[in-house]
DNA sequence: TATAGATTTTGAAATCGTTACAAAGTTACG
DNA sequence: CGTAACTTTGTAACGATTTCAAAATCTATA
């Protein structure tokens, strides 16, 4: 499923964020490629489309999108954040130790209930680590 | 349950790591306080006991303990690692958005089975975010 | 179409946690 | 003892991110 720039622009205005060219480019890359890019990945991708864009602009855009609730920041490894589109059922992630790719994984439906009583659960991060099918096939 | 320095030293030698004073102090803090300290928390704690200790020594010790499989590095927030004692059943964590404390939480037993077939799961990180009972009580 | 006001972008410098590295100190063991 | 292996130290570097103030660009209203 691909989101048109018009759809994405509407999401932005709907969330009270002005749909500037750069913000739209950042959101479109996150929403349509679903590759969980880091800020630097995004900077390089956006640079191809808009040469001369500032790294700070990419960070600014990301903050705006995260604050607007359209994008989720994933803290999977120390030091680097990755970014995921939020318009879809909640899901976890799988990080392949071999190729580094990040895959979406379904969340067990009653996971929130497994927390101790008395805690108010607002968000769940579930991350698997291991080897993805592609790398398993290549390995042996 | 508290671990004596002798017990901890045996764990270290058993794992092939020389039980130096600093390493023992780091491990003891992580094992006995169970407060999921960051490297900087540990540096400050160890400094009280051994004034003049170098920050690098704390990092070196942490690396040794993580490599030895006695300590697990938690990547809960961007930028900072926290450290948890590993000698206990696998568990997830709850981070209170209000006070910042980190609590242990049980893992649902068949969580690994919920991953898509074809992936080899080596590790699971489950993190809840929300408000802890103490902060909930104080809030209203 | 002007123009003022608000918002966005820029680029350089700063920050923060962590790592690299080489020198100095310590320990184990023949 | 002597020497090789390991540990600690302190400084400098690193990389991702943030800060900040100036410049550019938009928007609304006249």
Q: Give DSSP secondary structure letters for B17-58.
A: ----HHHHHHHHHHHHH-S--BHHHHHHHHHHHSTT--HHHH
Kindly determine whether residue A112 and residue B128, on different chains, have CB atoms separated by under 8 Å: yes
**Which positions in chain B touch A136 (Cβ < 8 Å)?**
118, 120
Percent of chain A with pLDDT over 90: 89
- Answer yes or no: are the C-beta atoms of A72 and A103 closer than 8 Å: no
Dihedral of alpha carbons A113, A116, A117, A119, sign: negative
pLDDT at B1: 78
Query: Distance between CA B45 and CA B29 in Å, rounded?
Result: 8
Choosing from A85, A101, A120, the residue where a domain stops is A85
Number of separate domains in chain B: 2
Q: Which chain B residue lies closest to A93 (C-alpha atoms)?
A: B115
DSSP-based three-state secondary structure for B100? coil
Q: Which of B121, B129, B133 sits opposite A130 (nearest CB)?
A: B121
The residues, any chain, with a CB within 8 Å of residue B96's CB and separated by 6 or more, are B102, B103, B130, B131, B132, B134, B135
Across-strand partners of A85? A71
- pLDDT tens, A62-117? 999 999 999 999 998 888 999 999 977 889 999 999 999 999 999 998 898 999 99
- Answer yes or no: are the C-beta atoms of B91 and B104 closer than 8 Å: yes
pLDDT at B5: 96
- pLDDT tens, A43-53? 999 999 999 99
**Which positions in chain A touch B106 (Cβ < 8 Å)?**
114, 116
A119, A133: one domain: yes
Q: Which domain holds residue A102?
A: 91-139
**Which positions in chain B touch A137 (Cβ < 8 Å)?**
none
B47, B81: one domain: yes
B4 Cα to chain A: minimum distance (Å): 29
A77, A28: one domain: yes
The DSSP H or E segment spanning A96 is strand A91-96
Which nucleotides of strand C come closer than 7 angstroms to any CB of the protein?
A: 7-12, 16-21, 28
Q: Is the pLDDT of residue A19 over 90?
A: yes
pLDDT band at B109 (very low <50, low <70, confident <90, very high): confident
| Helix (H) and strand (E) counts in chain A | 5, 5
Residue A16 tokens read as 């009270």
B79, B112: one domain: no
Kindly determine whether residue A116 and residue B106, on different chains, have CB atoms separated by under 8 Å: yes
Q: For residue A28, give the CATH number of its domain.
A: 1.10.10.10
pTM: predicted TM-score of the whole model, two decimal places? 0.91
B12, B47: one domain: yes
B11, B43: one domain: yes
Maximum Cα–Cα distance across chain B: 52
């Amino acid at each position: 499923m691909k989101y048109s720039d018009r759809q994405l622009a509407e999401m932005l205005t709907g969330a009270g964020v002005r749909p500037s060219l750069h913000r739209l480019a950042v959101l479109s890359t996150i929403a349509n490629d679903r590759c969980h890019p880091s800020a630097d990945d995004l900077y390089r991708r956006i640079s191809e489309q808009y040469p001369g864009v500032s790294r700070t602009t990419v960070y600014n855009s990301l903050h705006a999108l995260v604050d607007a609730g359209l994008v989720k920041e994933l803290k999977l490894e120390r030091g680097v954040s990755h970014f995921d589109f939020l318009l879809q059922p909640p899901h976890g992630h799988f990080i392949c130790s071999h190729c580094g790719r990040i895959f979406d994984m379904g969340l067990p439906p009653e996971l929130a209930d497994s927390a101790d009583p008395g805690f108010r659960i607002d968000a769940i991060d579930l991350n698997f680590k291991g080897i993805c099918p592609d790398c398993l096939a290549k390995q042996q």
